[in-house]
Structure 1
Amino acid sequence: MSPVEEIVIGEGPLRWQDVVAVARNGAHLSLSASAWARIDNAQAIVECIVASGERAYGVNTGLGALCNVSLHGEQLSQLSRNTLLSHACGVGAALPDEQTRAIICAAIINYTQGKSGLHRQVVEALLTLLNRQITPQVPSQGSVGYLTHMAHIGIALLGVGNVSYRGHIMPALQALDAEGLSPVVLGAKDGLCLVNGTPCMTGLSCLAIADAQRLTHWADVVGAMSFEALRGQLNAFDAEIIALKPHPGMQIVGSNLRSLLDGSEVLANSQGIRTQDALSIRSIPQVHGATRDQLAHATRQIEIELNSATDNPLLLGTPEAYRVVSQANPHGQSVAMAADLLAIAVAELGSIAERRLDRLINPTVSGLPAFLVSQPGVNSGMMIVQYVAASLCAENRQLAQPAVTDNYVTSGLQEDHLSMGTNAALKLHRVLDNATQILAIEYLLAAQAFEFLKGQRFGVGTDAAWRLLREQVPAYDEDRWLAPDIAASAALLRSEALLETVYRSCRNVAAINTAGARLAREYDGSDATNRSDAAASSRASLAPTNNIDGDPKTYRHP
């Protein structure tokens, strides 16, 4: 599977993978002739409004509580510039470059709906920022919806503020000059278009979907390793039993676990040693599956938003017959709720992982050496890493509190219900980071537990995962500095290629294991024919994060 080198915005809807390809992987973004035509049509409507003197919010009026102040002539361009400067008042550490790039990408997609009225040269300038790797420095805090984050991107077009360019932080004007570019001169409504809408929370959420997709796949691998190390009872994952509760995500997880654990002598020799396992062990399909289902729901919500027109006002029709409609499409409630829900779901992945890893180090329930080390006492082993996991779980419980239920009044009572969608998306990223670290610790501990069981054959997938970690982290024979081991484990969990290696190991049993064969087919998408949309949607969650076929190199929306 080759990386996509160009994303072309045309007529069809875009996917979260397109945003990730541009923001994270550096794919070139361009617009089709039809997309440019839509942008030009909306801009021509703005020119008609200005020429006619018709009152239209943000075109020839003040903003927010100042919406009843009329403006004329040169004031319209000045309003656009002043809008960016006055709104660029965020605080806190700068967003990572990929997050800012995701926001810009989502904004451009928004403008190509052709309902905003942004001048063509402004969209061209945003494309230039992306494609020439000039990334505005955007403070991470200060948006109740989107305004301050978007404004910090917009001022870079004016040559104001700082940007990341060629590995250095420098004034925006200096970076523009290095590329032979001039600051943009804004026209009527340009300033409002640049700060308005939901691209901020939507772009951030697209990146979060990518990370959540990958993490759910790894969670099944790591959970299967812990299950095997604790000699779980496989009846809990029986296909007929799992099918009696037909949540789509649960079916996928059950299939994954059976395939990953196929051929395990450890489990074969452990059947019947207990009546049933603790819930954190036997409920992996139910808990992991629920997270997958919430991820599927969040993805649908976020992709709908990505392909929506979210400016205010919106411009409908043609220059000859148009309507200017003030409404509330910039309200990001759908994305905010989706991000909040996904944060809860991901926090639960971390919560159950922490319970499993705690059992691994407790000899009372594991049947393994205390804290997974020889000579416990002189060696503390894996004792304190469980503290770390517990701390991260506690933080995730705090972060899982919904942002969307907070509400404040802004702009002189004019904006009196707010989504807090950007806050929701940003805290989702923190939850994902924490959950990744928790699963990295579980991965480390499960692999160490395997060292005490390796006289028996492991499952085909769990064995591959164990060997993969051992290429980076040696077995823990005596106490050593553990932080680098956790970092190495977490790095593996951030790798799609290595994840694919583990799942593809299940092909080794595909000929004799129906579940393994289905898993292998679903992973590479080869069973996509003759599936219902619902089935395709649920099974698509098993696809790699950047699920875009390689050739041709340009992925063009028809």
Structure 2
Amino acid sequence: MEKMILGKKVKIEDVIRVARGYAQIEFSDEYCARVNKCRSYVEQFSKGGQAIYGLTTGLGDNCRKFIPEKDREIIQRNHILSHTCSVGEPINEECTRALMFIMLVHFGCGHTGIRLEVLDLLRNMLNHNIIPRVPGHGSVGYVSLEAHIGMVLIGEGKAWYQGKLLNGKEALESAGLKPIVLSSKEGLIIVSGTTSVTAFTSLALYDAVTLAKTEDIAASLSLEVLKGTLMSMDERVMRVRPHPDQERTASNIRAILKDSAIIEKYKGHRVQDAFSLRCIPQLHGAVKKFIKDGLDVLEIELNSAVDNPLLLEQEDGSPIAISGGNFDGTYVGMAADVLAIAITDLCKMSACRIDRMLNRLVSELPAFLNKSADYNNGLMLIQYIAAGLMGELRILSHPSVVDNLPTCANQEDYVSMGYNAAKKAYDGIQLAKYICAIELICGAQALDCYENIESASGTKAVYHLVRKVVPVMECDYPLEPYIEMVAKQIIDGDYIRNVEEKIGKILF
């Protein structure tokens, strides 16, 4: 199994390797050294009389109370217990694994003061695939989801291990691990920061890149079967409005369709195409631009110190604890909100192309691509599904970070709501992949109407990949299993790899 050594800069691909690829984590000497050094600061502060939030004081409204050293374990344990209150269905395994991994990254930055023993237990939980049960609703940007993971660390809560849902202590002991007793500041560290916001957004952004590339492919197939023109993809058109992502999208479409006999035969068939074909570079390009902006934000966030207070070293080598607001989730939350809007826009155009392929009044193809119209509906209903999914995506596109409700007796009078933004971006991707799948299924069925004309080598590769899992629709059959299978191919990157084998690199 793949190994990953933590200590250097982390990338979004690393999150995926752990969340989905089950990479085994090890700590570098550098990682251990900085964690141990920062913990030594905690020990210095603990023996002094300075009031430092969460380290020598109580938490929340108790921040004015100095806590004797002997009682600090109680405070930290209670902090986890009190914060374990997110509700509803548990989040997906990949989300929990991503969250745990980012906790390791953020907590091990060398500015939190957590002990290496706590991080080692969390690492072993990931390596043994002990998955805490984390309900997915009720976060304002931090605290509640993370506490459910903290519960398992202390032998409480619930976790899945080898397919069984066990209490925390039993899950740990089944894997040969022991719960830990939290010490000064550690309960606070576990529930603070931007870990859940960053975890969900990482998964969503990674899939968004795959989806955006695949939509270039799906759009190319739709353009081909709808007898579209490549005139609107002309380099000269792109040059006079030089948005780089627009230019790259047009280049992708031209490359995919460069040897299409269908495009060649119907050249000049229409004076101009409908917007959903003519404006592919403009809309797809804009979507990619804002995905890239999100990736830039995320890369910084993954490699940041997001705890409070932060323990830093002064010029003379002495430690200082500084209270600040790096736990705020607005950067990633706003990126996630924009991502949800971008993905909805991408699917909006895809849904229009789906409708055009199925509507005989504009497609010049059989109604609903039906091969046997007397007793069958063909692909009529698949467009209903796309329309319903679009309705859900539009709801998810409403921004979250503009919302606010004060918490903590008005001490936290502003909250980022970044988690809600991240969660709906993640949820939106789960819906968007189905719309892309539907466009590919319709495109493949439409291509069957061109039996005596060669399609492009790129779209031919798409057709054969669709037909690996979706039979030609000669008569009606249940579509749900096939939509799921094509959606999985999309997220796995199969269409990108297959087309790149024919045309070279798809630009992003």
Shared fold, TM over 0.5: yes
Q: Is 1:46 matched with 2:42? A: yes
Partner residue of 1:163? 159
Partner residue of 1:354? 351
8 Å contact kept, 1:288–1:349: yes
- Deviations along 1:401-435, one digit per CA (max 9) or x if unpaired, are 00101111000000011111111111111111111
Partner residue of 1:536? none
Could you list the runs of 5+ residues in structure 2 that have no partner in the other structure? none
In structure 1, give the amino acid aligned to 2:89: A
Partner residue of 2:271? 275
CA deviation after TM superposition for structure 1 residue 6, in Å: 1.8
- Deviations along 1:507-527, one digit per CA (max 9) or x if unpaired, are xxxxxxxxxxxxx2x45xxxx
Which of 180, 191, 194 is the aligned partner of 2:190?
Answer: 194
CA deviation after TM superposition for structure 1 residue 205, in Å: 1.2
CA deviation after TM superposition for structure 1 residue 374, in Å: 2.4
CA deviation after TM superposition for structure 1 residue 73, in Å: 2.3
Partner residue of 1:20? 16
- Greater relative contact order (Cα 8 A, min sep 6): structure 1 or 2? 1
In structure 1, give the amino acid aligned to 2:124: T
- Aligned partner of residue 435 in structure 1, secondary structure: helix
8 Å contact kept, 1:156–1:172: yes
Partner residue of 1:534? none
8 Å contact kept, 2:333–2:419: yes
Q: Is 1:253 matched with 2:249? A: yes
8 Å contact kept, 1:64–1:415: no
8 Å contact kept, 1:220–1:256: yes
8 Å contact kept, 1:260–1:503: no
In structure 2, give the amino acid aligned to 1:503: E
- Deviations along 1:217-272, one digit per CA (max 9) or x if unpaired, are 11111111111010101111112212322222212211111111121010101111
Q: Is 1:296 matched with 2:296? A: no
CA deviation after TM superposition for structure 1 residue 456, in Å: 0.5
CA distance in 2: counterparts of 1:346 and 1:315, whole angstroms: 39
Which of 101, 108, 117 is the aligned partner of 1:105?
Answer: 101
CA deviation after TM superposition for structure 1 residue 179, in Å: 1.8
Alignment of structure 1 residues 219-368 onto 2, 5 Å = 219-317=215-313, 321-368=318-365
Partner residue of 1:474? 471
Could you list the runs of 5+ residues in structure 1 that have no partner in the other structure? 507-519, 524-538, 542-558
- Aligned partner of residue 68 in structure 2, secondary structure: coil
8 Å contact kept, 1:264–1:460: yes
Q: Is 1:434 matched with 2:431? A: yes
Partner residue of 1:148? 144
- Aligned partner of residue 64 in structure 2, secondary structure: coil
CA distance in 2: counterparts of 1:188 and 1:499, whole angstroms: 49
- Deviations along 1:449-506, one digit per CA (max 9) or x if unpaired, are 0010131111111110011111211111112222222222212212224431222211
TM normalised by structure 2 equals 0.97
Which of 375, 398, 417 is the aligned partner of 1:420?
Answer: 417
CA distance in 1: counterparts of 2:244 and 2:35, whole angstroms: 40
CA deviation after TM superposition for structure 1 residue 166, in Å: 1.2
CA distance in 1: counterparts of 2:494 and 2:132, whole angstroms: 30
- Aligned partner of residue 471 in structure 1, secondary structure: helix
CA distance in 2: counterparts of 1:225 and 1:191, whole angstroms: 53
Q: Is 1:504 matched with 2:501? A: yes
CA distance in 2: counterparts of 1:474 and 1:266, whole angstroms: 23
In structure 2, give the amino acid aligned to 1:38: R
CA deviation after TM superposition for structure 1 residue 176, in Å: 1.0
Partner residue of 2:205? 209
CA deviation after TM superposition for structure 1 residue 159, in Å: 1.1
In structure 1, give the amino acid aligned to 2:40: A
Q: Is 1:35 matched with 2:39? A: no
Q: How many correspondences in the alignment?
A: 507
Which of 50, 55, 61 is the aligned partner of 1:59?
Answer: 55
CA deviation after TM superposition for structure 1 residue 320, in Å: 5.7
Partner residue of 2:441? 444
CA distance in 2: counterparts of 1:74 and 1:424, whole angstroms: 40
Partner residue of 1:528? none
